[in-house]
Structure 1
Amino acid sequence: MTDRFFLLFLRLPLVGRVLCIASISIVFFGIVIHFVEPNVFPTIFDGIWWAIITASTIGYGDFVPTTFEGKMVGIALIVVGAGFVSTYFVSLATTAVQRQNAVNEGKVAYVGKKDHMIIVGWNERSRYIIKEMTKLYPRLRIVLIDHTLREKPMPDIHVHFIHGSADQDHILQKAGIDEAHTVIITADPSVSEVQSDMRTILQLIAVKGCNREIYCVVEILTKQQVNNAIRAGADEIIESNYLTGSVLMNTLVNHGISKALSSILTQHHGSKVEFIELPDDLIDLPFSMIIQKFFQDEMLVIGIKKRGETLVNPPFDTKVETGDELLLIRGHYKNKSSNS
């Protein structure tokens, strides 16, 4: 039995072991002083109270040993008990600092709320996503996975950092992959485009292997790897080079178009582009009537999503059918009313 308790004691963290020793010492000296000077310390509780005050170096002076034996007990308490109490507080502070350093260095697993978002890779796109998402959804929990960072990159924003590569299962488990609702895998700017896409697809396979139901958005740089990303299970693919090239080309043809697109896509500036399900009362109506009905609510319908294919500005006589989704832009005042 004694060996069992000793083993349990050794398994405690350093702070716990020091606290146990300090508590035992205080109780022991409290009991001893009660029997040495029963007139000054009429109860055991009074003795323990005096031991706590003395060991913590506070010294109220409400209980003071008067005999030689009592003073010797006090000296022993100061030498032994105060040392353990001081060690306990130092160990506690050290543990707190080490814990905070471990969190900043990405060594601590995420144990927060469920339905969080995981972002893989640190770059300017990740920085932008984190800043915008925390503005739009302050309660959203975000976990960042990156193998190049040495510590949390944005200490002023509530983001949990995990150091490591997202193609390893234990790193994904530390990020809470089983409870997350979305994963965004960004391209690695430190390697070539082909290598970046290969790494992205490998990370996508690992994510889907850990949680097949999670929604995965991946950034692909080369056209040749788009089909491989689809085969690996990507729910949505962002071809960043293609999108950037399209914007550059349109800017050459129509000067200033990039600012207009940026204004539309930047949600907190007053507009919001989104898909919504087609209301039942609008089934089989032409696209022209759909535009008129939503325009009254300060929403501009710009397209239809049919069987997974998005039609932007389709012919006005196009009929919307069951299962279609509407692509629209919510107006500034509509956003204000909906947020309130």
Structure 2
Amino acid sequence: MRTNKLLITFLRWPIISRVLLIIFLIIIFFGSIIHLIEPENFPTVFDGIWWALVTTSTVGFGDYVPSSIAGRSLGMVLILFGTGFVTTYFVTLAATAVTNQNSFLDGKMKYYGDKHIIIVGWNERVRIIIEQLIKLDSSVKILLIDETLKENPNPKYDIHFIKGNPTVDETLLKADINHAEMVILTADQSKDEQQADMLTILTLIAIKGLNPDAYCIVEILAGHQVNNAKRAGANEIIETNHISGLLMVNDVVSHGMSDILVTMLDQLKGSKLKYIELSKNDVGMTFQYTSSALLKERIILLGVKRGENSYINPPLSYTLEENDELLVIKD
């Protein structure tokens, strides 16, 4: 009974591990036997194992050679039997390496890791996101899910690619969604706005169902779908069309504003637009006082976030309260 269990366990091992174990046992067995047959030519078991190893690998240094009929017969069996297993091992190893490489490129290989960023959908925006994230932190772990790509679009960045439908559990589990730190959902602009947003929200529901703690940044095209995205569990919502519209209006009113806004948002330039927590010393202070204090630290105060509302350039007498967040440009 115990023997059967061991056999079943052995058969469940990867084929490379099984072949390697068999080769290891063959070398030890034949090395020990040749030591017993010709102790004068093979003074120690280690010498016998060395001979068996160089024989099965077809290197054949010739430093240890059997001289008796029994020893040479054993050598013939080792060459016929052991070399076949060694050849099988290396062929299997090479085939597995090629298969894994192809699986990686084709998006069929499961991801094993944690605290990675999953990006759903491939488009020009995603290419920019990936490049910027890697420039900010070269150690960042990024996984891309897309159903339309034939192979990994960015193998040079060592981005793990999963080909599949992001609304299906099988695809998300292959991407190790349970251990993902963040998910970025981009809209499929090959579809109309309604279909693209519905697909995004459906994907969001699938993700939150498997990992409620994943921080999800969602791109929504139609404004009336924002509430549905919030109900589905989106942590942040980016209304692409709304932002583009506002940017164009700013350009109409003040020419050249788009370049300035892009520079402000470009974190690689050294200026980060971000929220910072209000210090205890600034609670009860005015917007003007806090702005002047932050300027001494090379921090530009733009506005205040209070709860769900944000106030850009509020009155100078605006009083700051506990739990407020400050919108700043910070080096």
RMSD, aligned CA: 1.9
Change (3 A) 1:123 1:323: same
Please say which of residues 16-25 and 81-90 is displaced more in the overlay: 16-25
Q: Corresponding residue for 1:59?
A: 60
| Letter matched to residue 306 of structure 1 | R
SS of 1:178's partner is helix
| Partner in structure 1 of residue 231 of structure 2 | 231
CA pair 21-270 structure 1, distance change in 2 beyond 3 A: closer
Q: Deviation of residue 311 (structure 1)?
A: 0.9
* Partner Cα distance (1:108, 1:298) in 2: 47
Which residue identity does 2:182 align to in structure 1?
Answer: T
Moved more, 136-145 or 18-27: 18-27
Amino acid at match of 1:117: I
With over 3 angstroms needed to count, the CA separation of the structure-2 counterparts of 1:24 and 1:168, relative to structure 1, is: same
| Deviations, residues 176-226 of structure 1 (Å, cap 9, x unaligned) | 322222211000122222111000000111111122232211100112211
Aligned to 1:338: none
The residue aligned with 1:93 is 94
Identity rate, percent? 48
**What's the offset of the Cα at 1:34?**
2.9
Residue of structure 1 in register with 2:202 after alignment:
202
- 1:70 alignment counterpart: 71
Q: What is the aligned partner in structure 1 of residue 171 from structure 2? A: 171
Structure 1 runs (4+) deviating above 6 angstroms are: none
Q: Secondary structure at the match of 2:303?
A: strand
Partner of 1:182: 182
1:13 & 1:118 partners in 2: Cα distance? 29
What SS does the aligned partner of 2:179 have?
coil
C-alpha separation in 2, matches of 1:286 and 1:323: 15
Q: Cα gap change, 1:106/1:22 in structure 2, threshold over 3 Å: closer, same or farther?
A: same
Pairs within 5 Å for 1:1-340? 1=1, 2-112=3-113, 114-330=114-330, 335=331
Gaps of 5+ in 2: none
In the TM superposition, what whole-angstrom CA distance separates every residue of 1:277-309 from its partner, at most 9, and x where no partner exists?
A: 111111122211121111111111011112211
Q: 1:3 to 1:212 in 2, by over 3 A?
A: closer
Q: Distance in 2 between matches of 1:119 and 1:262?
A: 22
Question: What is the deviation of 1:241?
Answer: 0.8
**Paired residues, number:** 330
Offset at residue 272 of structure 1 (A): 0.7
SS in 2 for 1:39: coil
- For 2:202, give the aligned amino acid: L
Matched residue type, 2:231: R
Deviation per residue, 1:23-66 (Å, 9 max, x gap): 33333332343343332123333222211111111112111122
Give 3-state SS (helix, strand or coil) of 1:275's partner.
Answer: strand
Shift of 1:135: 1.3
**Relative to structure 1, is the Cα distance of residues 291 and 5 closer, same or farther in structure 2, using a 3 angstrom cutoff?**
closer
TM-score by length of 1: 0.90
| SS of aligned partner of 2:196 | helix
**Structure-2 separation of matches of 1:203 and 1:238:** 16
2: distance between equivalents of 1:216 and 1:10?
42
Deviation larger for 164-173 or 51-60: 164-173
How many angstroms does 1:99 deviate by?
A: 2.0
Structure 1 residue 4 displacement after superposition:
4.0
Give the Å deviation of 1:5.
Answer: 4.0
User: 2:302 & 2:7 partners in 1: Cα distance?
Assistant: 72
Change in CA separation of 1:133 and 1:6 when aligned onto 2, cut-off 3 Å: same
Deviates more, 1:127-136 or 1:39-48: 39-48
TM-fit CA distance, 1:3:
4.0
Secondary structure in 2 matching 1:149: coil
CA distance in 2, matches of 1:20, 1:115: 35
Please state whether the residue corresponding to 1:108 is helix, strand or coil.
Answer: coil
CA–CA separation in structure 2 for the residues paired with 1:179 and 1:109: 13
The separation in 1 between residues aligned to 2:6 and 2:287, in whole angstroms, is: 77
**How many Å separate the matches in 2 of 1:24 and 1:177?**
41
CA distance in 1, matches of 2:319, 2:292: 14
Amino acid at match of 1:118: I
Distance 2:232 2:4 in 1: 54
Amino acid at match of 1:226: V
Mark the CA change 1:306 to 1:25 in structure 2 (over 3 Å): closer, same or farther.
closer
- Structure 1: gaps of 5 or more residues: 336-340
